[in-house]
Amino acid sequence: MPDLSITNARKGFFDLFDRVVRKGDRVIIARRGKDRVAIVPVEDLEKLQALEDAADIAAADAAMAEPGKCIPYDEVRKELGL
């Protein structure tokens, strides 16, 4: 994965954009020597979001399977002052 400083990324933004779109490159942009941002193809982002959704669903399923009393949503909101 190519790494760029923010200065170099700014100077060559359109070339960088083209590399990501056409070649599917993933680029990390650093600022003051630390990685700060990644520019990735939309397909990569969609895969990441699908993985996050699957993890959230698995966590919700595990929570629902736990023994104990279920508290109605309206009651929780009232307790939290929402």
Mean pLDDT of the chain: 91
Q: What is the pLDDT of residues 24-51, one digit of tens each?
A: 999 999 988 899 999 999 999 999 999 9
* Fold entry, domain 3-80: YefM-like fold (3.40.1620)
pTM over 0.85? The answer is no
Residue scoring higher pLDDT (54 or 3): 54
3-state class of 52 per DSSP? helix
Note the pLDDT of residue 1. 56
Average pLDDT, integer, range 44-70:
94
Candidates 42, 39, 40, 52; CA nearest to 6 is 39
Residue scoring higher pLDDT (40 or 70): 40
